[in-house]
Amino acid sequence: MTHAKAFAALADPTRRRIYERLRRRPHTVGEVARRARISQPAASQHLAVLRGARLVAVRRAGARRYYRARPAGLRALRRWVESMWTDAGCSRGGAAAASVP
């Protein structure tokens, strides 16, 4: 279940901030560490979790690695949330919406 990993990855506030930065432009581990005010090993661990959740991709350029957000990872999460919304009948004002006081 990719969406479970994505939710777990984004549950951490530091990883959410890192992900938001990576949505704007690619960063190296060093840039992530400086901007998030964390150590480089901590930044690497956070990026590994985001990669494991398929929310981040990496590109090598010489000795550097550039990390960027993967829109496809977020789209998969969005589809899953929307399916839950539809299944509950919320999008059509179904039974779930009718039972709310």
Q: What is the CATH number of the domain that holds 23?
A: 1.10.10.10
23 or 94, which is more confident? 23
Host domain of residue 24: 2-95
Using an 8 Å Cβ cutoff, are 32 and 21 in contact? yes
Distance in angstroms (rounded) separating the CA atoms of residues 14 and 21: 11
Within a domain: 73:
yes
Q: What is the pTM of this model?
A: 0.80
What pLDDT band is residue 98 in, cutting at 50, 70 and 90?
very low
Distance in angstroms (rounded) separating the CA atoms of residues 66 and 42: 16
Q: Residue 53: CA atoms inside 13 Å, Cβ hemisphere, count?
A: 27
Q: How many domains does the chain have?
A: 1
What pLDDT band is residue 1 in, cutting at 50, 70 and 90?
low
Within a domain: 101:
no
List pLDDT tens digits, range 13-29.
Answer: 999 999 999 999 999 99
